[in-house]
Structure 1
């Protein structure tokens, strides 16, 4: 299985091929990749965008009230094994 870093790198490269600039935001449990979409995109660019997004764990498209569009994708990080989960001698 590919590491999170490798998957993020592949996704941002694929977005670049589609003519988009990616922004990567790290969160505790996932890495989110965002790209602002131009007002007009070719069918080929849309296909490349969707191919990049579908390789991630979740993705979506946000459309703002002013018509701006933001595509996002998230890659989940593996669970932290350092802290025992509740139920393993950590009952409430």
Structure 2
């Protein structure tokens, strides 16, 4: 299995949307949480970036931090990629 670039973007989108949903966090809430740690991103900007799965690694880690994501399992990533094939 060799994922395409678009598969990785879709993975980022699915992963972050799943975490937001699990925690009941809206894009405005995420924007507020990021702002609290000095990262200024509007809710609309976050929605666009997440929906496209295109965001910088720094923003990805900032989101992981403010959402308090404790772990991302390899098996979950593998399963999501497999589902996209």
Q: Give the TM-score of the pair, scaled to structure 2.
A: 0.31
Of Structure 1 and Structure 2, the greater strand share is in 1
Of Structure 1 and Structure 2, the greater helix share is in 2
Q: Give the TM-score of the pair, scaled to structure 1.
A: 0.29
Q: Which has the larger radius of gyration?
A: 1
